[in-house]
Structures are given as C-alpha cells and as structure tokens.
Amino acid sequence: MAPLWSSASVVLSLSLGAAAWPYSTYSSMGFQPPQLEVNQTGTTADGLLFLGPRGGVQPAGQAALIYDNAGNLVYEGPEEVTANFMVQQLNGSDVITFWAGDMLDLGFGYGTVHILDNTYQEIHTVTLTGDFVTADGQTRESYIDLHESHITPQNTLLVTAYNVTQHDLTSVGGNSTDYMLDSHFYEIDISTNEILNSWSALDHEDQIPLTTSHQKIGVSGTSENPWDAYHINAITATNHGYLVSLRHMWSGFYLDHNGTIIWHISGDTGGDFAPSGNTNFSWQHDMRVHNETDDGLILNLFNNANTGSDSEGDTTGLSLSINLQDKTVTGLKSLSDPNDPIKSVSQGSYQLLGADEDANVFMDYGSISKVKEYDGNGNIVFTAQFGDDNAVASYRGYRCQWSAVPFWKPSLYVNRTSDGASVYMSWNGATDYDSWNIYAPSSVNSTAGPQIGNATRTGFETRVDLTDLPTNYIQVSALQDGNILGSSEVVPF
C-alpha cells in the first residue's frame, strides 16, 4: 500500500460511463476529488461523509474520501479503488477501515483491509491467503473480496471471498463440468491474520439449492466467466453466530457459530417467516441485525430492487421486524425520496444513525452517485451527489463521527506575486483545527520566525494574500482554540 499522503495510479476494473462531473483542485495538494452537490433541508445527525467514488472520476480523486456537510473535502487517501470506508471500533477506540484492491468486471474483487488509527497510521493490514482459484488466473497476495470488512464485538474481522469452483450445473440449465463462484466468508484475527472461522455457501447446497437463485446462468459457466449463484455481500455478527446476505438468492441466512443454517428470510416468499405488510425485497445489499433478543430482531437492508438485467421497482431502504416466536416478518419502514425515485442496479448501504429505530438513516445509492439522509419520520433532510447517474459509483457510504490529527505535517504552497505572495494552506485529514498562523522564518532551517498573519480555516484549503514580507520564507501552523496542532515545513519563494 502506498503511503497515505502520496498517490499511486491504478486501473479501474469496472465499466462505467464517462462523466463530466466537476471536480475540485488545490494548490497545496494534488488532489482532484469530485465536487459534492449538497442540498440540506433539515437537521442531520452529527458526523462527516465517508465515500469511495470510482468510475468517471479524476484519477487523483479515486480514493477513500471524507467530506463535511458543506461538501468540503476533509481527507483523501491514496489513489486506488476502495470500498467499505468507515469508522469502526477496535479494542474500544475509533479506527477507520477500508478495503483496497482490484475490482473485476464480474462484480467482486481481490484486495486487503486497512485499519488506521486517528493519526492515519496504519496499525493493521489484514490479508487472506489460501488455495483460491481466480477468474482471471492471477495469483494474489490477498483474496479478501470488497463486499465486507466488518469488525465484530470480539475485535475480529469478517470478510468475504469468492472462489471459482467446478460444479454440476445441469439443474439450472448448465453442464456437468461448468464453473461457478462459491461464496465464502472468513472470521480473521486482526492482529495475526489467523483464520478463526470460515463458511462456504456451496457446502450447504442441500439448504440453499442452486435452483432458488434469481441470477440467470445465461452464457456464464466458464472458468473465466463463472456463474454467480449466491453473490455474498454482507455478514453481521449475531448473538448466536452470523447473518449472511446472499444477493442473488434475495435472502438472508442466520447461521449458528458452527455454520449450520438456523433460519432464512426471503424477499419474495418470506422464507421461514409469514410476511405481513411491505416485506418484499430483491437484489439487496448491506443487510444488518439490530436490537436482537431471543424473541426476535430488527433487520435493516438496502433494497436495490434492481439488477443489471432485471427491474422490480424503485430502490428503498427497508426495516423489518422478525418475530422468532410466531415466525412472522413485519414491514416497519420503507424509505425513498418521492421527489427523486432511484433505481440502483448494484451496491448501496443502509446506516441507522442511532441506537433507536426512529433515528436518522443514511443511505448510499451504490451505482447511482448519491447519498441521502432521512429523519425518523422518513423525511429527506440531506442529499449529496458526487457524479453523473450511472457514471460514478460508491460501493457503500457512511456518516461517521471522526476526530483525527494526522501524523504528517500541514501542506503549504507559496506563489510569489508582484507585491508579496499568495499562501495556500491545507492539512489533509485534520478534522478539528479552526485557524492558521503564518510566520516568516529567516531561512529554511529556522525553527521560529515572526508571526506575520492569521487566517480562519476555510474548507479544505485556505488562501491568504500577503504583502511587504520581511523574508523570502513562509511557514504555517494549524491551531485549535489558539493551540498549535501541527506546523508545515519552511517553504522558500
């Protein structure tokens, strides 16, 4: 992985249309992130916006990105394809986590999970090795798929992986020697990379028949284009094991710790539960368990209701109540914007922004480059767009509370003018500074110099025009409530 303040170009391995969306540029940093078109109409929850745009974005803006509510950039990571960029808890402390790697056109990928502390130091790099067969025939250093990187209360990491497997597909219209993708998940010890538990969907074919897949086999079935019967895309740790989302089955499966299936819920039939109200879902993402008890639980999910070849309806955010005693599922909430109906064919996320079900909900629309926040009554309070529809994607997006002081120094660019200099200051990833002090050292090696200016922070980059400068050197410091948090290098001009 490249250092977190530098950049390395990568090839985007997902076909999206070209985009002409505006992007931002800065003098003090070489970033070019997509601009956020923001519309706030109500009170949002606290926190910053965490996105991973890719597709029709500038190469210098395809990265893990943090924005504030006004659309100002706060942080940009290395130039690479990322997913699941968010704040999680590890050993009682806030960390940011994200997947980075190669995303294949088949809809999954191979990469690693990076865990950073609140200075952006990488404290853990989680990898997955093993005897995997890849669709492109390449050997990888790590086979973690992009779909999941969830830290459990036990400080372990749940990840997905896809393995090309030869299997008899005559029951679904294929051949006896065809190839398919087996959906795996792994629970990994974060400190040691030791695999603690694993699960294979194909090992449970008796309970998850291939014939129940909604994904047509079509022309797939080769080793280069294997049939994706399951498409695992979310795993949640539960009181008794795990909940696994299989998108192409329109289902979630509740597993015991030993991997056996205890029950399943289906978006079209209800599965093991009798449906009541609006409980239908299809092609779902980000299925999560909330408020679990021995009697039942709340299931929240992003209901795409669309895929590349099939459309069921408008994309919604669903909240379902599952009663384990009487085996019923009841629709509690269906979120959508009546003024902006969306059909998201892939990806997406549903984030409950509080402990109660009536808290705000933040949704990322996956293949449609929008995020929306809904209040407890289902009203839109915030919308942001970061690319043209169907041209830029973000696998998931989150609103997270985050406070960080980077381990690197603030950045400074000085442009000489006819009567002085224009000074451009930024500190990538710093969340809490409010102002800048500007100094005029006597040389590059000076440790101090007279203060010649002060400026209030403005967005990601602050500009100040200075005249009658006493030296040809500038240094700046970022402050919070008058206390210096970090200082730049001395820059000659």
For residue 450 the two structure tokens come to 């007279």
Q: Give the per-residue pLDDT at 315.
A: 98
Pairing status of strand 328-335 against strand 274-276: parallel
Residue 30, C-beta contacts closer than 8 angstroms, at least 6 positions apart: 7, 60
Give this prediction's pTM. 0.94
| CATH architecture classification, 411-492 | Sandwich (2.60)
Which amino acid is present at 98?
Answer: F
CA distance 319 to 192: 36
Instruction: Give the fold, CATH level 3, of 37-400.
Output: Neuraminidase (2.120.10)
For residue 492 the two structure tokens come to 């000659």
Domains 37-400 and 411-492 share a fold: no
Q: Give the per-residue pLDDT at 289.
A: 98
Q: Where are the domains of the chain?
A: 37-400, 411-492
* Main-chain dihedrals φ then ψ at residue 65, nearest 5 degrees: -125, 140
Q: What is the tens place of the pLDDT at every residue in 328-338?
A: 999 999 999 99
CA distances from 307 to 79, 107, 129, 304, 440 (A): 28, 12, 31, 7, 59
CA distances from 457 to 65, 350, 463 (A): 19, 33, 9
DSSP letter for 410, please: P
CA distance 35 to 26: 12
CA distance 482 to 434: 9
For residue 251 the two structure tokens come to 């289902």
Which amino acid is present at 264?
Answer: H
Of 412, 261, 289, the residue nearest 352 (C-alpha): 289
DSSP 127-156: ---SS---TT----S--B-TT-EEE-TTSE
Q: Give the per-residue pLDDT at 11.
A: 26
Number of Cβ atoms within 10 Å of the Cβ of 258: 8
Question: Do the beta carbons of residue 351 and residue 359 sit within 8 Å?
Answer: no
Mean pLDDT (the chain, rounded): 94
CA distances from 337 to 229, 287, 320, 347 (A): 31, 20, 19, 18
Beta-bridge partner residues of 4: none
> Under the phi-then-psi rule, with left for phi > 0, alpha for psi from -120 to 50, and beta for the rest, what region is 270?
left
Question: Do the beta carbons of residue 341 and residue 306 sit within 8 Å?
Answer: no
Q: Strands of 48-51's sheet, edge to edge? A: 73-76, 65-67, 48-51, 398-400
Query: Is 308 exposed, middle or buried, given 0-12, 13-18 or 19+ CB atoms closer than 10 A?
Result: exposed
Q: What is the tens place of the pLDDT at every residue in 104-143?
A: 999 999 999 999 999 999 999 999 999 999 999 999 999 9
Question: Do the beta carbons of residue 430 and residue 483 sit within 8 Å?
Answer: no
Q: Give the per-residue pLDDT at 351.
A: 98
CA distance 304 to 368: 11
Per-residue pLDDT tens, the chain, 493 aa: give them: 333 332 222 222 333 444 489 999 999 999 999 999 999 999 999 999 999 999 888 889 999 999 999 999 999 999 999 999 999 999 999 999 999 999 999 999 999 999 999 999 999 999 999 999 999 999 999 999 999 999 999 999 999 999 999 999 999 999 999 999 999 999 999 999 999 999 999 999 999 999 999 999 999 999 999 999 999 999 999 999 999 999 999 999 999 999 999 999 999 999 999 999 999 999 999 999 999 999 999 999 999 999 988 888 999 999 999 999 999 999 999 999 999 999 999 999 999 999 999 999 999 999 999 999 999 999 999 999 999 988 999 999 999 999 999 999 999 999 999 999 999 999 999 999 999 999 999 999 987 789 999 999 999 999 999 999 999 999 999 999 999 999 999 999 9
Q: What is the tens place of the pLDDT at every residue in 192-245?
A: 999 999 999 999 999 999 999 999 999 999 999 999 999 999 999 999 999 999
Question: Do the beta carbons of residue 122 and residue 90 sit within 8 Å?
Answer: no
- 3-class DSSP state for residue 203? helix
